Each structure stands twice: as C-alpha cells, then as structure tokens.
Amino acid sequence: MNQTPFTRRQLLKATAALGTGMAFGGLGVASKTPAKISPYSPADPVRIGLVGVGGRGTDLLRILLNLKGNVVCAVCDILPERAENAQTIVREAGHPRPTRYTRDERDFQRLCETEELDLVIAATPVDWHVPVCVCAMKNNKHAATEVHATYELEECWQLVETAEQTHRQCALLENYCYGYDVLMILKMVRGGLLGELIHAETGYQHDVRGVRFGSDGSLLWRAQDMLTRNGNLYPTHAVGPAAQWMNIHRGDRFDYLVSMSSKSRGMHVYAEEHFGKDHPSAKQAYQQGDISTTLIRTVNGLTITLYYDAQLPRPFDMIYRAQGTKGLILGTADRIHIEGRTRPEEWESTAGYREEYAHPLWKTLGLVAGQYGHGGADYIMMYRLIEAFRKGQPFDLDVYDAAAWSVISPLSEQSVAERSKPVDIPDFTRGKWKTNPPLEILEAQSS
C-alpha cells in the first residue's frame, strides 16, 4: 500500500470511529461492544485476510501457501495489480481464489466487515498497521502486524486497549526473534549456560539507503520519517530477541530509556553521489542522525544497548551479545566465553555449542525453513503463528510486546530532543508482567 494523504490525527479519529455500528465477523449483528468470547478459541483451518500484498506481503503469502492449517480467503491492496498478482499466486498453488479488495486505501474496512475470517494480517507501510489491526479486532477477528507496529505512543495504547476490550489477539510478526542464533541464545540463557543474565547488546545495523530512494532519486515511504524524526526508528528487530532472553513481560519489564543520536550525513552523501548535488534529495535537511544509541534498564536491573545504524556504508550485523554471571556470547561474531569451560581471558568459536543448544524448532523445521527469507526465520515465525491459532493458544509475541517494543521509537525521539533525558517506559501490561510465565522452549509439532 502506498502513502496516505491522511494525517496521523485523522487516522486515529477515523480508526476509533470504526468501533460503532459494525457487524462483527460472521454474526451479522451490529453492536458497540464485541461479544466477550475467549481470545484463544482454536480455528482449523485458520481463515486469513492479508492486507498489503507488495513485496513483504507476497513473501508472507508464499509461506502461508506452504503451511498446513490455513486458507487465505481475502487480499487487499491499494494497487489492484498487486491484489491480482496475489490471487494468481494462490490459484497457481492449487487453492481457491481469494476475494480482492482494492477500492481505495481504506478498503480493508470492508474486508474486515464482510469476510468470515479468523485472522487479519497487516503487511502495509507502518502508518496503516494500527488502523488495520484495530479494525480487525473491532470486527471480532484476530490481528497480526508486521514490524514495527507504530511510531506513536497513543497508538501503542490503542492496540493494547482494543485487544483487551474485544478479547482478540494482536500478534507481532517479528521474524528476528526466530533466527537460528537468537533461539540458540534463548536456549543457552534458559539452560543457565551464561549464569544470571545481566546485559544484552543488539542493533539494527544495516545499510538500507538503497531502498529509501526511487530510481529517479525521489524519497520512498521508508525515508519520509527521516525528514522529521530523530531516534531509533526501527527498534523491534534488535530489542525483540533481547526482550525474550530477559523474560520481558514474563517476570520483568522495561523501566526507562535514554537515547542519543549522531549528526546526519549519510543520506545526504548517498543522494549526492547517486543523483547529483543539485537533486532535491541531496538538498533535503534530514533530521535522523546516522547512529542512534539507546540504553534501556529493566525493573529488575538488567540493561540493554540498542543501535540503529542504517544510513552509513557497512556490512549487516545485529551483534546479539548476551552477558551473564558465567560468561557471554557475541552471536554474530562467532565468539563465546564461559567461565570454567573456556580458557581464561580467551574467546572460543560457538561451533562447539551450536548443536548442543540448537532450538527444537530449528532441529525439526530447519531444512524447510532455509528455503525462505531472512535465513529461514520468516518460515519459523509463520509456522508458530498458524500453530498458535490452530490450537487456540496465545502467539509468542503478543500485543504487549508489540506496544513495548514499538514505543521505543517515540520515547527515544523524546529523549534525543531533551539532551538524552531519561524517559519512563509505560507498563502496558498493568502489572501482569509480574505473574506471566516465561515463554516455553517449544517443539515443532506435526501440521
């Protein structure tokens, strides 16, 4: 889906209005209050509506078509040719042609109102994630959003409150939580290899300037926020794995953060070199600093360092450092040190640990998963999503995760603007984090 002419405030007001006088999925009854039914009722197969079938949405569609236990019933996009392409992909895979919704940029509302669905997935640009998910939940359907959920604090609360009021799930599709190394480290932490976990360091460090400019040098939707924002604009890939290692919302929670940004030069230099010094994109004033560094402290005293480094030339690196009282691992550097197991003050390769601490999901699904994007993490994520809804279970990454991980963006902006002032992170769970059990080390089950 493309850029919206609506302002953020208009979107919020329009989305809030969707809760009045709607017919809830399949019931045909207009009501202001959704029926209070369990958010964990099993659905097999899971009937899915996919909103946004551009590059990312099409990737997810192809995975869904290769997983048992679901059927894609409807597709929606502002560009008719994308929706038509999605219909063709589904038919060529031997499945019934899904209904197409392409009237305008709010046609997802008609999809949510009229289709009998269990789950609506938002694979749109970020401005539409919350409107789509809220509309789905208020029409008695579960929702799932691509990352990150929103740039806005009040939209984080809107997701949480809508999920609680409607008794619907709002899952976060954070594929980086399912990578081989991330789940391996999770198993190491749960197994006590690192001792008591104290600190994590992660970062979205990836030169993505090439996808922010069109072939003519114009700024694409991925770059628009860099003109006015300055903070960690893409936090969930980095903070998600660390949050799971630290049992955030399952025994601990984020307490506060501080953030700082460097000056901005990368976008300007790239535009000059590729499109000329006189090109409008080379003359833009980019507010987003080239390197954003955020520090987070949890209620239990753990710390996280997050980097957002996406507009300078560099190789891809997420770092994935987890450190505890018995040692530490630098996941992407292939280094580990465990007291009593590694020679004093020396590193060793993680090779000797990779099989011992391989996560069960990867042991079972790794060969198939490796055929799909992000090193197989996309497949593992979607497998877990479908299994959870088929069996009537909560998804691994819930609405509280979506809110707490996404809110790092606006709060980091606030901290940067106020000379790295500490900013409190809301307790979106309202105390539930104290009693929620940790995520299990899950086995892959037969589909």
Residue 34 pLDDT greater than 90, yes or no: no
Residue 348 pLDDT greater than 50, yes or no: yes
311/203 same-domain check: yes
pLDDT for 221 equals 85
83/187 same-domain check: no
Give 256's strand partners: 297, 424
More confident call, 10 vs 363: 363
110/197 same-domain check: no
236/281 same-domain check: yes
> In the predicted model, what is the mean pLDDT of residues 24-30?
29
Residue 160 within a domain: no
Round the average pLDDT of the chain to a whole number and report it: 92
Q: Residues 239, 241, 242, 244: what is their CA dihedral angle, to the nearest 10 degrees?
A: 120
Provide the pLDDT confidence category of residue 407 given band limits of 50, 70 and 90: very high
Total number of domains constituting the chain: 2
Burial class of residue 96 in the structure, from the number of CB atoms within 10 Å of its CB (0-12 exposed, 13-18 middle, 19+ buried)? exposed
Residue 434 pLDDT greater than 60, yes or no: yes
pLDDT digits (tens, 9 = 90+) for 123-145: 999 999 999 999 999 999 999 99
Q: Residues 77, 81, 85, 86: what is their CA dihedral angle, to the nearest 10 degrees?
A: 10
Residue 82 pLDDT greater than 70, yes or no: yes
* Domain that residue 283 falls in: 177-359+399-434
Residue 297 within a domain: yes
DSSP for residue 128: G
pLDDT for 37 equals 56
